[in-house]
Structure 1
Amino acid sequence: MICVVLICCFARKKSSSRTKHNMKRLFSDASGINIPIYTYKEIEKATNGFSEKQRLGTGAFGTVYAGKLHTNSWVAIKRIKHRDTDCIEQVVNEIKLISSVSHPNLVRLLGCSMENGEQILVYEFMPNGTLCQHLQRERGDGLPWPVRLTIATETAQAIAHLHSAIDPPIYHRDIKSSNILLDYNFKSKVADFGLSRLGKTETSHISTAPQGTPGYLDPQYHQNFHLSDKSDVYSFGVVLIEIITALKVIDFSRPPNEANLASIATDRISKGRLDEIIDPFLNPSSNDPWTLSSIHNVAELAFRCLAFHRDMRPTMMEVAMELEQIKLSRWELGEEINCEGASLEASPCSSSSNLSEQPLSKGINKNGGVQNRNGLFML
């Protein structure tokens, strides 16, 4: 009996070792890009067995957990759902593509694990949560306009990079304010790019059902399921309106014809009534002509992004360049854009979400634990 147990344990260990070896071979053979490959046990240990106490949130692509690996620094561990287990080499190549993309405003992939039929991605941890949380006052008291404009500009540059500097281009498919994460200095980084390629999807950019989040979906994509770079442009236009208004993208507590934020915005902008929906926190009526002028300029840009016909929308490169010009126009007035006035919750203990679409009131505490409303849970 003891011999049988020992043989089983040896076989399991050998199988695990062979799996890890094969994974390393697949990663090294494809294009020479190497990222750390963790065992399932290492991931399980880092998350305390995928403990609910360490869960940061759950979204369209999977569940995210806080964890510490060998570096003893916090990372975000995403456990992908709807995994494609039929073609492991294709999945590895997709992960390699994501890991090869480098831009200061894209969340970095730090490693992965693909044992036991799992697809687990390890990302850098972003301590200041999501743009959505700050706009909805779930974190802090609000962001001043210069900070919002900088976040918008950085985000546009990141998406433009995915569209223009990558071959083949990467279409995000799920641009939204909860996928825009903020670091210690409120520098923005786009999350979840490339993840739509990891599931059981077609090899082309034609999908059999709309992908994305209600309120952000390109209306043409919703009709014909054809994906293009202009689908991301539309979604980003909605984010720009969020930044200006701090209103929810879909809110059924509003009148039926105003439940959709994009509909409200296009109506008000076309009628010259934008001021009615500007976030009062921005105080646009104050003696600051640049703030009001730049808000209107961003709104006009968003209006073009929200055009029904995608041919009428600008490219993300054009959007990024225009936002940069709007941001730089403040220097003409002798002013400097900075984060003064933002609710700087830079410590990890204030973070309530990371890489997730449904943020929770949880975060990482500097003393080494996950925190929620009930107190501190040591890891």
Structure 2
Amino acid sequence: MHFAASPPIFHRDIKSTNILLDDNYTAKVSDFGASRLVPLDQTQFTTLVQGTMGYLDPEYFHTSRLTEKSDVYSFGIVLAELLTGRKALEFDRPEKEKSLALHFISSMKEENILDILEDRVLYEANEDQLREVAKLVERSLSVKGEERPTMKEVAMELEGLRRSSKHLWDEPHEEVECLLGDPPNSQNFNTTNYDSLGNQVVISLDCGR
């Protein structure tokens, strides 16, 4: 949307329930009701945001401007949801955990990010690779848009990690495997699943947010 389309498209409402998968696990972005076409010579677009709380770029509240980095922030939330199995906002959790973005960034600073990751993710992925993805999420969730990577950089980094460490997805880190024991029961994980054979992330569509 940001680089292949001409003019570029700002979606403005990137969230888990707007990213669908077909039978071949190919991602299909849906719900363009809030999206905007952006002239090639225009880097920012001032508008009223119709996005979803929890996924909305915090910089907008200070600048009233929506940029391509706003979608990057929202996608960072989606990645955080996939890693943790949690929702963007959960008001029934303790105060410091209600916002997934704040909780994720806090856990990165305290260097205990593995403690909040979903058991299935810990079991199926290599620890070093998880930390690299977590760093990418942290950069994507930066309060300042200029400090976030572009969406193209996010996609390239994720693809690079997948290609360079493809064999590690089938060989869980021995310390993590020892800690978790047998693989988690798939029936206990309704929000996010990982398909090791296809190296694809599967988002359950029956968990509305």
TM band (smaller chain): 0.7 to 0.9
Distance 1:344 1:218 in 2: 22
Distance 1:213 1:245 in 2: 19
Aligned to 1:313: 148
Alpha-carbon distance change, 223 to 211 in structure 1, aligned in 2, over 3 angstroms: farther
* Structure 1 residue ranges, 4+ long, deviating more than 4 angstroms after superposition: 332-337, 340-345
Contact 1:233 1:313 in 2 (8 A): yes
- Work out whether 1:205 is the aligned partner of 2:205: no
Contact 2:58 2:143 in 1 (8 A): yes
Instruction: Identify the match of residue 68 of structure 2 among 204, 208, 229.
Output: 229
- Work out whether 1:298 is the aligned partner of 2:133: yes
SS at match of 1:324: helix
Offset of residue 334 of structure 1 = 9.7
TM-score by length of 2: 0.75
TM-score by length of 1: 0.43
Contact 1:217 1:235 in 2 (8 A): yes
Contact 2:16 2:203 in 1 (8 A): no
Distance 2:142 2:112 in 1: 18
- Work out whether 1:216 is the aligned partner of 2:55: yes
> Which amino acid in structure 1 is aligned with residue 197 of structure 2?
N
Contact 2:80 2:104 in 1 (8 A): yes
Aligned to 1:22: none
- Work out whether 1:251 is the aligned partner of 2:110: no
Contact 2:9 2:35 in 1 (8 A): no
Contact 1:171 1:194 in 2 (8 A): no
Alpha-carbon distance change, 342 to 244 in structure 1, aligned in 2, over 3 angstroms: closer
Contact 1:182 1:188 in 2 (8 A): yes
Distance 1:314 1:341 in 2: 22
Highest Rg: 1 or 2?
Answer: 1
Instruction: Identify the match of residue 178 of structure 1 among 14, 17, 28.
Output: 17
Contact 2:13 2:34 in 1 (8 A): no
Distance 1:194 1:163 in 2: 17
Runs (5+) with no aligned partner, structure 2: 38-43, 172-195
Runs (5+) with no aligned partner, structure 1: 1-161, 199-203, 346-350, 360-379
Distance 1:260 1:224 in 2: 21
Aligned to 2:197: 338
Corresponding residue pairs, total: 179
**Within 5 A, what are the aligned runs for 1:337-376?**
337-339=196-198, 352=206, 358=208
Contact 2:54 2:89 in 1 (8 A): yes
Contact 1:245 1:277 in 2 (8 A): yes
Aligned to 1:196: 35
Alpha-carbon distance change, 263 to 343 in structure 1, aligned in 2, over 3 angstroms: closer
Contact 2:92 2:98 in 1 (8 A): yes
Offset of residue 340 of structure 1 = 8.6
Deviations 1:94-133 (A, max 9, x none): xxxxxxxxxxxxxxxxxxxxxxxxxxxxxxxxxxxxxxxx
**Within 5 A, what are the aligned runs for 1:1-379?**
162-193=1-32, 195-197=34-36, 205-207=45-47, 209-282=48-121, 284=122, 286=123, 291-331=126-166, 337-339=196-198, 352=206, 358=208
Q: CA RMSD, aligned part only?
A: 3.0
Offset of residue 352 of structure 1 = 4.9
Aligned to 2:183: none
SS at match of 2:76: helix
> Which amino acid in structure 1 is aligned with residue 156 of structure 2?
M
Distance 1:188 1:224 in 2: 31
Distance 1:181 1:341 in 2: 12
